[in-house]
Structures are given as C-alpha cells and as structure tokens.
Structure 1
Amino acid sequence: MALVGGAVVVAAALAVFFLRPEGGGEVFLQAASAEGKDPFTPSTAQDKGTKEATAAPVSPAPGGTRTIEGSSPGLYGGSENESSCDVERQITYLTGDQAKSRAFASAAGIQPGEIPGYLRGLTPVQLRSDTRVTNHGYKDGSATPYQAVLQAGTAVLADNRGVPRVRCACGNPLGPPVAIKGSTKTRGQSWSTYKSNRTVAVAPARTVIVVIIIYDPRTGQWFERPVGTDGSKDRPIPPPKGGVTSGPALPASEEPSSVEPSKPHSSAPESPPTAPPSPPKSPPNEPGPAYGPQNRNAGSGGAP
C-alpha cells in the first residue's frame, strides 16, 4: 500500500494547463447541496457540514480553465472513515426505474445491468475546487447533457482515474467538460466565492490509481482511500509532497475545450516521498491521455 501511495503522490507533479475558450452558451452553477437541473434521483449525499471548509487554493487561469490530473493529492476532500455518498441507495434508486437505468447507462457508457458494479467501483469524495463538468440531467426518458460548475464541497463518486463520474446530490452521471460556442452565460444558484477564472477541470490520471489521497480540512489530516471503497478501509498517511491543504475558495474560469476520457494503462508505482509538503515541479511533457493524442505536449503542474 505504501508503494501505491507513492505512485499516487508522484502524481502531484501532474498535468495542469489551460483549456482555452472556444465559444459560449450556458453554464449552470450548482451549489454543493442543491438538487440542480433535471435530477436523476433524490440526493444520496451524506452532508457532513464541510461545504465551505473544503475549498483549496488554485491560481487564476487567464483566458481558460485550469486542468488538474485526477490523482493529485488533495484534489479531493472528505472525512476519514466516512462516506460522502450512499452508494447502495443510489443503486436502488437507479435500478428501480428501467427508463432511468437506460438513460444513466447510456450517459455513463455502460449497459443498464452493469450499473450496480459500476457504482460500487467508484469512490465517494468531495470536490475541493469549483469544478467544470458535463452534467447529464434526466428529461423525457433520456440523459440530457449540459455544462455545469459544481461548487467546492460537492459530494461526487470518482473513478479509478480520479475523474468525477456521479453527482451524489442528484444521481446525475458526469463527464469531462466540453467547449461552448459564442458568448458564455451562467445560470443557476451562485455562491459568494465563485469566480470564473479559478474553476478547474479534472483530467484522468496517466495510469489507473488504486488509492485516492484525501485531505480532511476539519482536522488537517491526510488519509488514503482505496478506490471503490466507502471509507471503511481508509488509512492515515503523512502529508504527501506537493499536497494541498487549505486556501481561498476556488473561483471558476472561462470555457474549457473538450476533454475525452482515457483508456486504462499501467505503470510501475514508485516509493512514497518523505519530504514535507511543497509546491510540485512541472514535468516537461504531459501525455494527456484524457485529451487525446493531439494534446500530448501540454504544459504541466500540480494539484489545485
């Protein structure tokens, strides 16, 4: 497990670049506990009262949304041994309605019968940044995609690349953000700390991750959560190198270009560092599996 932790910590020096505006349209602002637009299900979020405390610092991204790799330590927050989402209840809601099952599965890229295993393979965490995503509402029997910014503190289920895939407050499937053509307008419920130039987009980790390294803003402690577990197997760890602790709430940014999910590939884990937290250094090149081969030379950076 120590080796696995090292592999994830190494991801602190991960791809961060700017998703440039390509156009406009509507982006819906969704507060952490709000049901939001066209929910699939009732909320399964476990509200621990940490909505405002989870925000992590992020540098402004002039002219674009800052993109951060999903394995970055401190990208997600939470409380040790506590789940931010009731996965089993989410399964019950979705599998109890065939039309919703089909619509959810279509948006998630799976078969309806795979929903229980798919959800159990995700990890409940909380966003620590205002995050741009493609949300999918449920309307007229179909999943309807729209661009959204989810507030820091939002409970989500993340996959084994660290990408948020389900919003627990509404059961909606999530995908990477896409560009918007023309001028951009925001709709929905805003919050006092929202700023358009500090929103982040999560890029899939370069390799499949086995644990997510989480920061608890209430206690100042770090722990690792095995992917696909509900908090019952959490393990405290020393502060990782480059891990982000606290800071001003994230603002949001201009429009990102398309972000495509990557296919899993593997690499050997490295030993965990023992140095105290420090800002990550940028590697020269970013393979960018989430952005397709055309973007393999993107810039790099660290967690928000």
Structure 2
Amino acid sequence: MTYPPTGGPGPGFGPGDPHTAATIALAGAQQRSRRRLTIILSALVVILGLVLVFAANQVIFNKTGKALIPALTLRSADDPGPDPFTASVALVNKTQPIQPRVETAQNNGVRAVNGTAAGLYATTGTASCDAASLGNQLAANPAAARAWAGVQGIHTSDIPWYLNSLTPVVLTADTWVTNYSFRSGSASAYQAVLQSGTPVFVDAAGVPRAVCACGNPLRPPANAPIGGYRVTGSPWTNYTVNNTYRVTYNNTYVTNNTIVNQPAPAPAAAPVLQLIDARTQTLIDQAVGDILELPAERPADLPNFVANAFEANAAPSFGSDDEAQEQGLVAAGSTEADQAVAQRATENGGQPATDQPSTDGTVPGEQQNPPADGSPQSPGAPGGTETPQNTEVPSETGAPAPAPTQFRGTGDAIGTLVYRDADGTTVTCTLPPTFESSTVAATNSDCTLTFHREDLLEPAVTPLVDADTHRVWRITPIGHTTAIEVLEAQWQTLTSATSTTEAPTTEAPTTEAPTTEAPATSQAPATTEPSAAVPSS
C-alpha cells in the first residue's frame, strides 16, 4: 500500500521531495521568532521611553531646580520632612486607627470626602497635638511666624486665636494636601500625601491646616488629577492611590457617592466633629476649637475663624507661574490643572508615575539649599535663630546669585520698594507716610499690592536681610503665598507715633514675650501637661 506524496511544489523540489516538509517547518519557526522579537523590541521601546522621561526630568531638575513632572511626595506619619517650620508638637506615637466609615466619591483619581463627615478622623483619647507649643515656637521665630500666617491668610498676631479655632485629630486615611516647608524666610509649597495615622490640626470645616510632626501649615490639595503627577518617596504598607482621600473644596461636597458642585451646608454656631475613638472603635463628639486658654476679650478686628472656615478652603492657587506649574496648575492665580498634567493622567489611566525613593530625605521637585558654611540648619527651633541659607541654584548650574537688596535713606519703616513681577517687569510700590491700620496698601496705581504693617517696619526687615546669605529682603504681600524679592527699598520716618511704637510688641524678639503673641506663650506649661491647655480630642 502506498501513500500519496506529501509536500508541494517549490523551487528545486518536486512533489514528495523530503526536503519540502523541512523547509516549511523552518519558515514557520522563523515567523514565530520574528513575532517574539517584535514583542521584545516593543517592550524595550516602552521601557526606554519611561527611562528617558525620568532621565529628562532629572536633567531638567539638576539644571533648573524645577521638575518636568510635578511631584507628589509621600510623607509617613512620623516624618517631618526637610525644612520643618517647628520641632514636633505631636503628643502621640504613630498610630493606625480603623479605616474611616465615611461616604466618598471618585474625584480626579482619588476619594473625595467631606471634612465634617462622622468617622473621618480619630482620637486616641488624649490630645494628639500641643497647640501651645506650636504657638510658642512660632512666637520665638518671627520669620517662621510670618510665613506660617501668610499660608493661612491671617495676620501674625492672630496666630494664637487661629490655633484656638483648630482641633487636633489623627488621620484615618492617607490624605492629599498642599504642604509647606520653611526655607530662606518663606513658605515653599509642595503636593504631599500624609499617611494614615498622622496627627494634624483641622479647622471647623474638617480641613487639615497643620502637621504636628513639623508644624508645617497646610492647605487643600491642588485641583488637578493625581495621575498627572510623579509619586516619590517610600510607599508604606497598603498605600494605594485609589484609597487616598482629599477633603472637598468649599464649593463642593459629597452626597450619595456623588460630588455636588455647590457649597456644603455649614454646621451650627458651635460645630462638633464626630471622631473615631481608636480604643473603643466608637464615635465620640468633639467640640471644635477652644484648645488654648486665651483672654476672654477678643481683639475687635479679629475674624471669626470658626465661621469662616468653610469659605477659607477653596482650591489653592499660587503667586507665580513657576510655583503653579510645580503644583500641577496652569499658571499663577489659576486653580485650573495644567493641560500636560491632565493629559498624562489620561494616558496613565489615573495612576501617577513612580520615582525611586529619595535617599537623602529631600522633597522631590524642590531645590534644597544647605547653609553656605555646611553647618546643620535648625529652622523653627524654640528660642533658636535661623541659619542663613542659599536661595539660588548652586553656581555650578550657571544660575547667577541674586543681587542684595539696595536700601537707601534712613528711617523706621519702608517708604518705597521695587520688585520684579512674574513677567519680568520692574514695579515700584509707594507707601503712605502714615501707617494707620494693620494693613498698608501702595498709593500709586502701578502697584496693587497690600502688606501687613509690621512687615514693613525696621525691626522686621533688618533681621530678615541679616539672615539671608545674599542679603535679599523678601516680603509676602497679603493674599499671596509666595514672597517677592525686593530689588531696592527706601526708608522713611513714619509721621504716626502709634505706628512705630507698636512694632516691638509684634515682631521684635526680646526677652519678654511679644504682647500680641502672649496668649500662646502663656501656655508653655501645656508642653509638659498638655491636658491642662489642650482638651482631649
């Protein structure tokens, strides 16, 4: 019995030729090999693209101090981070309370939540933070106090009263915030995720306003999708982007797992936060504020911080294009996300890129400026002094050092100042000869800035200039979060005696506590006996 020949016609081979089957098998193997090679090459291209993105990001950061992709820094519960405003005022160790039992909604890749939602925050049965110590440390460092107050949108002398409107709690979820470090006499913003278990102060709207491990002031996070950032730092166990919370802004709130675009209902005149007791896993009522023993008579012009808390928590904007873009926003004064950030978020499926953990503890996306003499810095240390720091990119990058501020004339207050705005235009601000109120507005139409009176007085200006390596005077206008660098300034002698005699009571560091800061300073014993000044929360 014979079988029909196999194979088919081919060059050099006839039907049934035994070489035909081998040729077909070899061709199939070559085709499969080409497919595998194509897949491998495609994967290599993707990996190379990611490597190039991060390499380009690092090159640009090394040359300019600015990140190509805005950073979102992970901060563990007990990590103060670089350049803290104060020493730690936390009164509890790292704790991991139960997961919050609150209603949330998907929002820009994270979970949106109402700050006053019952069970969002926790208490360990005692005060988690020492408000008196925070007030004392800020009072001992006028530059830090001015920067801290500027972030919160308050006057320096209001700090004790503002602290008294806050409540110490413990985060029950990883929470996205705008964090601020203290460098070169001003506050420097960066986006951060605080780990669950972090002790913080929250306001009457339940919005985090200060970190207890470092005293850093906080604001709500930037209004941008998290997928457009690069997450950097060391992730902790169970960290995921999808379980990160952001407290809703003052024009939105969560109901039935939906974001409602209108102001959330304000609480009663004496609001109460419902906290989880970490010991019993039950909800307890905690009255908002009243954590310090302050004089019964409030200053007549003092804002009602409790009542204003909901209006104060809008989406943040920033004072310069560079700072805005570092936070993921399109431009100065805008709360709109940068188009590149939104596009990356879409391409990444809402998941941010991940950098390698920092080995030196520096804040990614921020330029670190060690003291010129190499000595360790100790910003915010009680009773200490600021260590002068460089304010520019190191000289090897080619960036010139800033020119010192040129002061002319004599007097006890600033009469005119000249600065350069974000567009590079030189602006002159002429100030009145009499400072009759706590705020001072420029009198010429070319300058629209308003300043705190005490920031313009000699006892405040001279120490800041002396503390800066390049002797540059920086001042933060009211409503701004970024200080301007003054190119020239002219002194004047104020015609109002009351304006000048009040200066030492608010800013001059003397052996006697400043008059306006006395309420916080008087609570010093609370550092050792916190329960006497800070009720349980």
1:141 and 2:185 aligned: yes
1:32-70 C-alpha deviation (Å, 9 max, x unpaired): 111123210011011145x22343368794851221111
Show the counterpart of 1:227.
Answer: 288
Q: How does 1:269-284 map to 2 (within 5 A)?
A: none
1:93 and 2:137 aligned: yes
Structure 1 residue 178 displacement after superposition: 0.4
Hey, what's the Cα distance between the residues in 1 that align with 2:196 and 2:280? 18
- Cα contact 2:273–2:288 (8 A) shared by 1: yes
1:123 and 2:202 aligned: no
Q: How does 1:55-94 map to 2 (within 5 A)?
A: 55-56=99-100, 61=106, 64-80=109-125, 82-94=126-138
Higher percent of residues as helix:
2
Show the counterpart of 2:532.
Answer: none
- Cα contact 2:220–2:315 (8 A) shared by 1: no
SS at match of 1:28: strand
Hey, what's the Cα distance between the residues in 1 that align with 2:287 and 2:228? 41
Hey, what's the Cα distance between the residues in 1 that align with 2:286 and 2:162? 17
Structure 1 residue 74 displacement after superposition: 0.3
Aligned residues: percent identity?
38
- Structure 2 gaps of 5+ residues are 1-67, 251-263, 293-308, 317-334, 336-537
Show the counterpart of 2:265.
Answer: 206
Letter in 2 for 1:97: N
Structure 1 residue 197 displacement after superposition: 1.4
Hey, what's the Cα distance between the residues in 1 that align with 2:191 and 2:176? 7
Show the counterpart of 2:156.
Answer: 112
SS at match of 2:176: strand
SS at match of 2:241: coil
- Cα contact 1:67–1:202 (8 A) shared by 2: yes
- Structure 1 gaps of 5+ residues are 1-22, 232-260, 265-288, 295-304
Show the counterpart of 1:263.
Answer: 311
Residue 235 of structure 2 is aligned with which of 180, 190, 194? 190
Instruction: Note the aligned Cα RMSD (angstroms).
Output: 2.8
1:46 and 2:107 aligned: no
Residue 75 of structure 2 is aligned with which of 13, 16, 30? 30
Letter in 2 for 1:139: R
Hey, what's the Cα distance between the residues in 2 that align with 1:43 and 1:175? 19
Hey, what's the Cα distance between the residues in 1 that align with 2:285 and 2:267? 15
Change in CA separation of 1:183 and 1:160 when aligned onto 2, cut-off 3 Å? closer
Change in CA separation of 1:206 and 1:91 when aligned onto 2, cut-off 3 Å? same
Hey, what's the Cα distance between the residues in 1 that align with 2:231 and 2:97? 24
- Cα contact 1:54–1:152 (8 A) shared by 2: no
Hey, what's the Cα distance between the residues in 2 that align with 1:60 and 1:224? 25
Hey, what's the Cα distance between the residues in 2 that align with 1:180 and 1:165? 20
Hey, what's the Cα distance between the residues in 1 that align with 2:167 and 2:180? 19
SS at match of 1:92: helix
Change in CA separation of 1:179 and 1:70 when aligned onto 2, cut-off 3 Å? closer
Letter in 2 for 1:26: A
TM-score normalised to the size of structure 2? 0.37
- Cα contact 1:27–1:184 (8 A) shared by 2: yes
Hey, what's the Cα distance between the residues in 2 that align with 1:183 and 1:64? 10
Change in CA separation of 1:290 and 1:100 when aligned onto 2, cut-off 3 Å? closer
Residue 217 of structure 1 is aligned with which of 255, 269, 278? 278
SS at match of 2:173: coil
Change in CA separation of 1:214 and 1:62 when aligned onto 2, cut-off 3 Å? closer
Hey, what's the Cα distance between the residues in 2 that align with 1:208 and 1:105? 25
Hey, what's the Cα distance between the residues in 2 that align with 1:220 and 1:262? 28
SS at match of 1:263: coil
